[in-house]
Amino acid sequence: MTKKRLLLAGMEDYFETWRRAADSTAAGLDLVPYVPGQAFPGFPYLLIWRPVPELFASLPDLRVIFCLGAGTERLIADPSIPARLPLVRMVEPGLTQCMVDYVLWRVLYHHRRMWELEEAQAQARWAQHLYPAAWERKVGILGLGTLGQACAEKLAEFEFQVRGWSRSPKSVAKVACFAGTETLGEFLAGLDILVCLLPLTPETKGILNADLFARLAPRAALVNAGRGGHLVDDDLLAALADGRMGSATLDVFHREPLPPDHPFWLHPRVFVTPHYASETHPPSALVEIARQIERFEQGATLEHVVDRQRGY
């Protein structure tokens, strides 16, 4: 079988990892690195993560753009990407499983107030504390898409009271589903832990703000694994200072890497992870890309195509 050629652009540091993954799977893909200034006629498929200057002029035969990640806001904002080309966001089991691990870990961390034990251990202090049962905790997930839904199902399996919020109505077993802006208040009311897994769009930018924090249970916890642009940093710092919010895990930031002088780094109840919640797993991602290419070549509709007007 002739291998399909997939051009990788702007991923120089990771190219060898991806090539090894391609060699180790039966995806049937031949990965080729993009070289700036060189033309790539005859390449219909491209994999990119961030905008690459001058890329599209060198790809006259391009037919599908695959985004390396689930969040495509940077590519949507790039005017050099031809609007006629389908842009496919990443949906693959490795990315989903890693996010489920991360969200479960961070929800359990806040649920059990683990930092109190860590502080106590640093002082060799035996400090038991009481905590509610999982079924007494209300956990909400903003965004019930591929990732949010998988996380909601896992948290429900752990007996948390789970709610989810999306744009269109959903039905997920053991999860109370809310849809649309008009239900946001009801969704948020009294949540103990809020997880953000929204895409960054004009509607969701700044959604994690003082008004939203005021609707949660007192001393609630926030886990933001969506994008830094969802959070109003100063509102979170103020809410932590006045006790409205209790703690937060933040994985994504307005500027990445998070600047060394940002107050989040040294805040005793803010737990920073370096945009590490989840990542695309090359072997399973390549199998998924190959499946989509197969569909495309057979004339079937591509899945997970981004709606650029909607922003995700």
Measure the CA–CA gap between 28 and 1, rounded to whole angstroms.
Answer: 8
CB of 33 to ligand NAP, least distance (A): 24
From 51-59, 63-71, 126-134, 175-183, give the range in contact with ligand GLV by CB under 6 A. Answer: 63-71
CB of 268 to ligand GLV, least distance (A): 27
Query: What does 236 bind: ligand NAP, ligand GLV, none (CB cut-off 5 to 8 Å by kind)?
Result: none
Both tokens assigned to 96: 């989903």
From 16-24, 154-162, 220-228, 290-298, give the range in contact with ligand NAP by CB under 6 A. Answer: 220-228
Measure the CA–CA gap between 146 and 144, rounded to whole angstroms.
Answer: 7
Q: Examine residue 140 and tell whether it contacts ligand NAP (CB under 6 A).
A: no
CB neighbourhood size of 112 (10 A): 14
Judged by CB under 6 A, the chain residues 110 through 169 that form the site for ligand GLV are: none
Size of the site for ligand NAP (CB under 6 A): 31
Residue type at 136?
E
Rg (CA), the chain: 21
Q: Which of 94, 143, 246, 282 binds ligand NAP (CB under 6 A)?
A: 143
User: Which residues, other chains included, contact 130 with Cβ-Cβ below 8 Å and sequence gap of 6+?
Assistant: none
Backbone φ and ψ for 95, nearest 5 degrees, come out as -65, -40
* Residue from 26, 39, 28 nearest 5 by CA: 28
Q: Examine residue 209 and tell whether it contacts ligand NAP (CB under 6 A).
A: no
Tell me how many degrees the CA angle 14-225-17 measures, rounded to the nearest 5.
10
Query: What does 148 bind: ligand GLV, ligand NAP, none (CB cut-off 5 to 8 Å by kind)?
Result: ligand NAP
CB neighbourhood size of 148 (10 A): 26
Q: Examine residue 227 and tell whether it contacts ligand NAP (CB under 6 A).
A: yes
Which helix (H) or strand (E) is 244 found in, with range?
A: none
Instruction: List active site positions.
Output: 227, 275
177 within 8 A of 166, measured Cβ to Cβ: yes
* Residue from 163, 286, 138, 279 nearest 221 by CA: 138
Q: Which of 25, 97, 183, 201 binds ligand NAP (CB under 6 A)?
A: 201
Q: Examine residue 70 and tell whether it contacts ligand GLV (CB under 6 A).
A: yes
Query: What does 123 bind: ligand NAP, ligand GLV, none (CB cut-off 5 to 8 Å by kind)?
Result: none
CB-nearest residue to ligand GLV = 69
Q: Rule CB under 6 A: which residues touch ligand GLV?
A: 69-71, 90
**Would you tell me which residues interact with ligand NAP (CB under 6 A)?**
69-71, 95, 99, 143-148, 165-168, 197-201, 203-204, 225-227, 251-252, 275, 277-278, 312
